[in-house]
Amino acid sequence: MHFGFFEQLSPADADAFLQAFLEAEAAPTHDMLMAASADGLPTTFTPASISPVLLWVLPRLVTVPRPPDPAVPAWIRATPSYSPGLFDFAPESAAVLLRCAYFLGMSFVRTYGCLRWSVGDQRFAQKHMPVIVGFKHSLELPVLLVVENLFRRLIADHAPETTVSRAIDRWIAFVPA
């Protein structure tokens, strides 16, 4: 995730980015979901359909190795958890992550009337990113960050497939009753 890109945006630019994201990802996400549906998956824009779709996408993602960062202290580079995370998503896979983020966000917004799209609060790490707001405790769901982190865990950490459904369940728990 390129936090610097979002941090440098003005509030007006962040709003414009959000609108462009929502407009640009609608059609390609529809195409992705049509392919998933043809494979028998539920693509209903509901939280229950998120995990199956993301797990369907997983084997289609392509990663490219990234060299170790010499600015990272040697003791961190020597840990067993450092090396598996040294990858980026290939450009075509990065585009798929955008579609997955759109699908994640729209699934929550369409299911829960109290949620809506917004830009991340300037006080937090998700500053100016597309987020879903309306959760309890003023939490914001940074869809781009959550999707990338979920796929990174699944790939680098070989996390179980239940990782996705557990994450979705956590966010559902923060939806106001």
**pLDDT in the model for residue 138:** 94
CA–CA gap between residue 71 and residue 56 (Å, rounded): 36
**pLDDT in the model for residue 2:** 79
**pLDDT in the model for residue 1:** 66
**pLDDT in the model for residue 21:** 97
Residue 72: half-sphere exposure toward Cβ, Cα within 13 Å: 11
Sign of the CA dihedral running 5, 147, 98, 90: positive
Contacts of 1 (CB under 8 A, 6+ apart): 144, 145, 148
* Cα 166 to chain centroid, rounded: 15
- pTM score, two decimals? 0.94
Cα dist from 40 to 34, 35, 53, 105, whole Å: 10, 9, 10, 22
Low-confidence ranges of the chain (pLDDT < 50): none
What is the per-residue pLDDT across 58-81, written as a single tens digit (0 to 9) for each?
A: 999 999 999 999 999 999 999 988
What is the per-residue pLDDT across 82-98, written as a single tens digit (0 to 9) for each?
A: 888 899 999 999 999 99
Label each residue of 40-59 as H, E or C. Answer: CCCCCCCHHHHHHHHHHHHH
Domain boundaries, the chain: 3-172
Exposure string for 71-97, b = 16+ CB within 10 A, e = fewer: eeeeeeeeeeeeeeeeeebeeebeebb
Radius of gyration (Cα) for the chain, nearest Å? Answer: 17
